[in-house]
Structure 1
């Protein structure tokens, strides 16, 4: 587990100001969602947190150690699974461990089974559905040694029912292993169902406009999606984002 601190991060490309004084933190084992419009600088922020881009000002710390400009400190799962087509499913999920010089096939096989992919260990990515590929991609992140995982809209390309199944599966795995997660989405319902806390970014130049602590108990049950309390929270966040002129899926 890891604690992330983003402190007054700003980024400009010439006269184009993308991020302005962005500050937030993620505690050990916390699940935090980031809601913001397309083109608001979210990808730039992720690159800065990941250490592959330098901010114009500000710092990023992990467990009180500065990681600004230092890659390899976090694990990143993009929108597309980004699996290597020439590697089997087992070898794909072990990639992060191989890079750091370790290889725990027993744990990998255990997580593959928990993901409902038992029997696909020696299959290749083209033999899997979109949802199955996303599970493989997330397992790879979970098996990597970094304590913080960035998830960049991993379910955006899935249909509604597959997306809900993936959300429930993600929560079951996260509750078991308690990794720190920063999850980016445009979907208010998804953010509410998954998160301990929701951070709202403004339009570009992005800054943190509001944070909400989500009160729903864990473990989460999908029946909460139909509750009056859940609906009221959706309305509150929707109205806040309308004030910030942020486009989201309601």
Structure 2
């Protein structure tokens, strides 16, 4: 049984169709990226998986059970960290556990220390940099009880070097905790570097046009970004997206 199954999801806003029969599935413990051009409906799809909005038709299944219109079934991290400004950093990362009634402050403190945030437990979000806030947001997701984490372009606002550091940190945390992650990006290099599999979406109205298995061994090292094999895969995915774009505008 697939961990997550997206079954023929369609979404329209009036006469504007955004998603046109999206189908894919993920396995437990897998890191999967959804890759598509800006405005293709990736974030719209995420809001439906997260139960925040409803599809026009189709279904979202988690371990065989429909979670359509059921917020709280997955851990959803939007593009901005969405930390509560009146809560300390420690209280922010404990929020998901607090809601479920199972707080583990010791584990939270250990994870903050591993993320380089030791000493910031009682600080507030406005005192942190953008990269630090993203780490806090991801730790909150890891500590939440849901089996699937949705990450919606969490590094898009960061500079290139901070972004690479955050990607490596994310992979180290994921490999340790082996949570299922569905990651949205429009950055081909980021999708390849992070993922077990990359699902490519077309221009709006979006549908799945191809899936790519990523063959690189884990743990991933920054050096692969400049390898010939990596650049070939980046070219293949780029050409797939480019041909889709050309067809949509023909």
The two structures share one fold, judged by TM-score above 0.5: yes
- Structure 2, unmatched stretches of 5+, are none
**SS of aligned partner of 2:39:** coil
- Following superposition, the deviation at residue 175 of structure 1 comes to 0.2
How much does 1:99 deviate?
Answer: 1.4
In 1, distance between residues paired with 2:194 and 2:143? 21
- Say whether 1:75 aligns with 2:63: no
Residue 237 of structure 1 deviates from its aligned partner by 0.7
Give 3-state SS (helix, strand or coil) of 1:209's partner.
strand
> How far apart are 1:143 and its partner, in Å?
0.6
| Structure 1 SS opposite 2:212 | strand
Equivalence for 1:175: 175
SS of equivalent to 1:212: strand
SS at match of 1:120: coil
1:19 matched to which residue of 2?
19
SS in structure 1 opposite 2:245? coil
| CA offsets 1:10-53 (integer angstroms, 9 cap, x no match) | 11122111111100011100000111122212222111111122
SS at match of 1:237: helix
Q: Does 1:189 align with 2:205?
A: no
Quote the residue 2:51 is aligned against.
51
Report the counterpart of residue 217 of structure 1 in structure 2.
217
**Mean CA deviation greater in 160-169 or 72-81:** 72-81
Match of 2:37? 37
Q: Give 1:79 shift.
A: 1.3
1:103 aligns to 2:103 (yes or no):
yes
Q: Please give the alpha-carbon distance, in whole angstroms, between the structure 1 residues aligned to 2:155 and 2:53.
A: 25
Matched residue of 2:96: which SS? helix
d(CA) in 2 for partners of 1:207, 1:143: 32
Could you list the per-position Cα deviations for residues 80-109 of structure 1 after superposition, in whole angstroms to 9, with x for gaps in the alignment? Answer: 111111111100100111112221101111
Compute the RMSD of aligned alpha carbons: 1.1
Distance 1:31 1:135 in 2: 18
Matched length: 245
Deviation beyond 6 Å, 4+ runs, structure 1 = none
Q: Does structure 1 retain, via aligned residues, the 8 Å contact 2:43–2:184?
A: no
SS in 2 for 1:245: helix
Distance in 2 of aligned mates of 1:44 and 1:215 = 29
| In structure 2, C-alpha distance between the alignment counterparts of 1:189 and 1:224, rounded to whole Å | 11
Matches within 5 A, 1:232-243: 232-243=232-243
Partners of 1:164 and 1:196 in 2: CA distance: 18
Task: Indicate the SS of the match to 2:33.
Answer: strand
1:127, CA displacement in angstroms? 1.3
* SS across alignment from 2:116: coil
1:198 paired with 2:198, answer yes
Secondary structure at the aligned position of 2:215 is classed as coil
Query: Does the residue aligned with 1:236 lie in a helix, a strand or coil?
Result: helix
Q: Residue by residue, what CA displacement relative to the aligned partner does 1:55-90 show, whole Å, maximum 9, x if unpaired? A: 121111001111111111001111111111111110
1:138 and 2:138 correspond: yes
Unaligned runs of 5+ in 1: none
